């Protein structure tokens, strides 16, 4: 890989140990994947935040770093709501470690907003063609597919390195040739709401790490696309997809219909709804959780409308980013009047607080893929309306 | 003793020496290795029951969760990490783990490591200069 004199200097340690290590990580990845140079990135989003996933080793590594990030940088969800962790039943020992993780990131100049939807936040908007270094698999998918920006699936340390250096290696989805669809998915039936998550859960398994182009009978909203991409990134390793006539790149570039074709029928999507993943059919859901990825303002509005004048008798979590919650304080208040909890900074997947529940109803294909394994809680997908009904919100 | 040098690609810089431990299986640091002891704990793994501490660990490539990078770091902090690592082809999880943990890592040797290396050989990995040194047999 070609490095400028300045980059060479950093690699040789002349700008300190932290930047040397960051540069080594970027160069190693560039060499592995055949990058020609480093390219500047507009922003970074860093995974490896929940103490549940990185443990003491991760905390130690982050704490040992010195320096300041060179581009706007933000974090992935943490293991708890940083303000209401007691309400979630989080142990003080865990909370203490989680606070340490966040403080370590803050000392590097990273904004301590913990979310999988950085694109909703001020200062993190991305536009078509921007190069980014984002980590969260659903945010990567959204940036690449729905916005038409460019990022690889960065791991925690590599996104952090990109943030510190302000650059990333030019390979993978930064290059035109890797953004061409190689498999097509035709969906002949009409879809709405959680169907997109169920479709993604299904399609991700077929697609693997390829780039699919969808031909759809219905017209998805950006929230629908968010759910589709998140699920495919969880059940497969999809970082970029196109939807004919809908996603920006598919509108600008005339992609050929790939030879490899998949057709998805309504009956296959219905099957996803019938299954209890990680449990048996007779298992009763005792918690419902929505907001995976974190809710948009539109989604909060929809939830508030469905809960209007209703009370619930089981746990209902609505996960979102703190900034979106604060900007929509009235909606949050309306949702919480029902007894539901609007949780910020965290989610049902990376928090230890779900442990002890039997079965979780979710409206997200991503949560359906991760909750059984990561939380040891069975999961079932349902529409937003069904999730609310499941926790008693039909009175 | 006469030694021979074999060129390779630098992934994580540094110099290490030690005894070779050869694994024909790929390795997922998350799940396959106990971070406290450095012992391979997956019963189905080629080097099950062996300790990787201070070895020059030779394996084709990594696999599994990205959290594996942090497990390598944990091994280092617990003083049970390999001294150096040799891959056929490195992938990001092991590469990043080796870099953050200061464990020299190389790949793409000019000769097949499974042909020229045996368990117990004393090997020097000079990743900074892009070669490994082994005793002539």
Confidence (pLDDT) at B131: 97
Confidence (pLDDT) at A222: 97
Q: Max CA-CA distance within chain A?
A: 68
Q: Is B43 in contact with B32 (CB distance < 8 Å)?
A: no
The secondary structure element, H or E, covering residue A332 is helix A329-337
Q: Is B28 in contact with B58 (CB distance < 8 Å)?
A: no
What's the alpha-carbon Rg for chain A, to the nearest Å? 21
Q: Quick one: DSSP state of residue A46?
A: E
Mark yes or no for CB contact B77/A156 under 8 Å: no
The sign of the dihedral angle between the CA atoms of A176, A166, A109, B98 is positive
Residues of A in contact with B127 (CB under 8 A): none
> Buried (b) or exposed (e) across B112-137, using 16+ Cβ within 10 A?
ebeebbeeebebbbbbeeebbebeee
Residue of B nearest to A28 (CA): B11
Distance in Å, alpha carbon of B66 to nearest chain A alpha carbon:
7
What are the DSSP E strand ranges found in B1-91? 3-7, 9-12, 15-22, 56-59, 84-87
Mark yes or no for CB contact A32/B13 under 8 Å: no
Residue at token pair 């340390």:
A157
The sign of the dihedral angle between the CA atoms of A13, A15, A21, A24 is negative
Confidence (pLDDT) at A360: 97
**pLDDT tens figures, B79-106:** 999 999 999 999 888 999 999 999 999 9
Among A148, A55, A34, smallest CA distance to A98 is for A55
**pLDDT tens figures, B61-70:** 998 777 789 8
Query: For residue A132, which phi and psi values (nearest 5 degrees)?
Result: -130, 165
Residue of B nearest to A49 (CA): B67
3-class SS shares of chain B: helix, strand, coil, % to 5: 20, 30, 45
Query: Which pair of structure tokens corresponds to residue A137?
Result: 């698999």
What are the DSSP E strand ranges found in A237-284? 242-243, 261-264
Query: B-contacting residues of A 59-118, CB under 8 Å?
Result: 60-61
**pLDDT tens figures, A135-181:** 999 999 999 999 999 999 988 899 999 999 999 999 999 999 999 99
**Any bridge partners for residue B6, and if so which?**
B132
Q: Where would I find the H helices in chain B?
A: 29-32, 68-77, 92-101, 113-116
Residues of B in contact with A55 (CB under 8 A): 70, 74
Complex prediction ipTM: 0.85
Task: Tell me whether residue B65 is one of the annotated catalytic residues.
Answer: yes
CA-angle at A90, arms to A85 and A94, nearest 5°: 105
Confidence (pLDDT) at A362: 98
Among B23, B28, B65, B69, which one carries the catalytic annotation? B65
What's the alpha-carbon Rg for chain B, to the nearest Å? 13
Confidence (pLDDT) at B30: 83
- Tens of pLDDT along chain A (395 residues) come to 999 999 999 999 999 999 999 999 999 999 999 999 999 999 999 999 999 888 898 999 999 999 999 999 999 999 999 999 999 999 999 999 999 999 999 999 999 999 999 999 998 989 999 999 999 999 999 999 999 999 999 888 999 999 999 999 999 999 999 999 999 999 999 999 999 999 999 999 999 989 999 999 999 999 999 999 999 999 998 999 999 999 999 999 999 999 999 999 999 999 999 999 999 888 899 999 999 999 999 999 999 999 999 999 999 999 999 999 999 999 999 999 999 999 999 999 989 898 889 999 999 999 999 999 889 999 999 999 999 999 987 75
Mark yes or no for CB contact A29/B67 under 8 Å: no
Residues of B in contact with A56 (CB under 8 A): 74
Q: Does A284 touch chain B (CB under 8 A)?
A: no
Q: Is A288 in contact with A315 (CB distance < 8 Å)?
A: yes
Torsion-angle region of B43 (φ positive above 0: left; ψ -120 to 50: alpha; else: beta): alpha
- Interface A-B: count of C-beta contacts within 8 A: 60
Q: Is A11 in contact with A161 (CB distance < 8 Å)?
A: no
Confidence (pLDDT) at A395: 58
Mark yes or no for CB contact B96/A155 under 8 Å: yes
**pLDDT tens figures, B35-52:** 999 999 999 999 999 999
Mark yes or no for CB contact A58/B92 under 8 Å: no
> How many whole angstroms separate alpha carbon B20 and alpha carbon B122?
6
Confidence (pLDDT) at B135: 85
Query: For residue A360, which phi and psi values (nearest 5 degrees)?
Result: -110, 130
């Amino acid at each position: 890989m070609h490095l400028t004199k300045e980059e060479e200097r950093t690699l040789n340690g002349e700008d300190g140990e932290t930047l040397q290590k960051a540069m080594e990580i970027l160069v190693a990845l560039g060499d592995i994947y055949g990058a020609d140079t480093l390219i500047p990135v507009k922003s970074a989003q860093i995974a490896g935040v929940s103490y549940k996933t990185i443990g003491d080793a991760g905390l130690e590594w982050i704490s040992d770093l010195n320096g300041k990030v060179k581009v706007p940088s933000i974090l992935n969800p943490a293991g708890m709501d940083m303000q209401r962790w007691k309400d979630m039943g989080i142990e003080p020992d865990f909370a203490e470690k989680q606070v340490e993780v966040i403080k370590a990131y803050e000392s590097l100049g990273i904004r301590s907003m913990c979310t999988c939807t950085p694109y909703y936040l001020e200062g993190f908007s991305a536009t078509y063609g921007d190069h980014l270094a984002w980590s969260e698999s659903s945010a990567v998918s959204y940036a690449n597919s729905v916005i038409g920006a460019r990022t690889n699936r960065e791991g925690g340390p590599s996104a952090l390195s990109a943030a510190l250096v302000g650059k990333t290696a030019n390979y993978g989805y930064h290059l035109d040739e890797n953004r061409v669809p190689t498999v097509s998915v035709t969906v002949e039936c009409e879809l709405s709401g959680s169907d997109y998550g169920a479709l993604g859960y299904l399609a991700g398994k077929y697609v693997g790490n390829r780039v699919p182009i969808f031909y759809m009978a219905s017209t998805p909203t950006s929230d629908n696309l968010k759910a589709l991409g998140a699920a495919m990134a969880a059940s497969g390793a999809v970082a970029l997809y196109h939807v004919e006539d809908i996603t920006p790149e598919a509108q600008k570039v005339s992609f050929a219909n790939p030879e490899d074709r998949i057709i998805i029928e309504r009956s296959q999507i219905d099957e996803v709804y019938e299954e209890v993943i990680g449990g048996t059919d007779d298992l009763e859901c005792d918690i419902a959780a929505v907001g995976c990825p974190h809710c948009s303002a539109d989604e909060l509005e929809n939830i508030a409308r469905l809960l209007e004048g209703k009370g619930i008798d089981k746990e209902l979590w609505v996960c979102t980013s703190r900034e979106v919650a604060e900007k929509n304080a009235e909606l949050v208040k309306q949702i919480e009047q029902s007894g539901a909890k609007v949780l910020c900074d965290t989610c049902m997947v990376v928090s230890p607080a779900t442990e002890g529940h039997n079965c979780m109803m979710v409206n997200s294909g991503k949560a359906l893929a991760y909750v059984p394994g990561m939380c040891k809680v069975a999961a079932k997908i349902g529409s937003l309306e069904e999730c609310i009904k499941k926790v008693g919100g039909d009175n | 003793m006469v030694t021979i040098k074999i060129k390779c690609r630098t992934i994580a810089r540094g110099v290490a020496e030690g005894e070779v431990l050869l694994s024909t299986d790929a390795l997922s640091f998350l799940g396959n290795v106990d971070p406290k002891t450095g012992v391979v704990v997956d019963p189905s793994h080629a080097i099950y029951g062996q300790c990787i501490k201070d070895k020059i660990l030779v394996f084709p490539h990594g696999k599994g969760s990205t959290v594996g990078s942090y497990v390598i770091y944990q091994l280092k902090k617990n003083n049970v990490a390999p001294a150096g690592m040799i891959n056929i082809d490195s992938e990001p999880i092991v590469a990043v783990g080796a870099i953050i943990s200061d464990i020299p890592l190389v790949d793409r040797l000019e000769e097949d490591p499974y042909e020229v290396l045996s368990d117990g050989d004393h090997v020097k990995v000079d990743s900074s200069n892009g070669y490994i040194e082994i005793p002539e047999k």
